[in-house]
Amino acid sequence: MGRAKAAAALFALLSLLSLCAFAPEDGEYSVSVELAGGSGKASVTSPTLLTVKDGVPVARIQWSSPNYDYMVVDGRHYDNLSEEGMNSVFEIPVLCWDGWMDAIADTTAMGSPVEVHYQLFFYRESVGSKNELPQEAAKRVLCVAVAIIVIGGVLNYILKKKNS
């Protein structure tokens, strides 16, 4: 019975290590992320941009508020990358897949700065094309709209010339 427990524990440890070690090839992707903790009023954009460089996955976390000035992940400090007045944005490493990852975010929403403990959950199976991001879809819609306007204008010009 001792061997069976040891084998099960080893299997569980290897499974956990494989989840944390997963990284797609270098490039840009989308990934679904879930937020827990805090007061429950804040949220993060999901899916979000995932950039992998030299095998290191980094998620671009955009908060639903402009009041976050830094985050701490795995003891490292990350500054807000957004412009003044825009929702706070941070680029943080993805330390673990399909498991809760601890993070601290400093917010000034309550007046004086307060560090709030959160957890982020990155869904390994959701890693996909960057085109799945809402921002990318909006760019495609805008390009199609511009193309329709230009083509419509050209056709209108041609028809007016032809009728003259």
| Domain definitions of the chain by residue range | 22-130, 133-164
pTM over 0.85: no
CATH number of 22-130: 2.60.40.1850
Q: Tell me: the pLDDT tens digits for 21-47?
A: 566 789 999 999 999 998 888 999 999
Between strands 128-129 and 27-31, the pairing is antiparallel
**Is 61:71 a contact under the CB 8 Å cutoff?**
yes
Q: Tell me: the pLDDT tens digits for 44-82?
A: 999 999 999 999 999 999 999 999 999 999 999 999 999
Q: Tell me: the pLDDT tens digits for 124-134?
A: 999 998 875 55
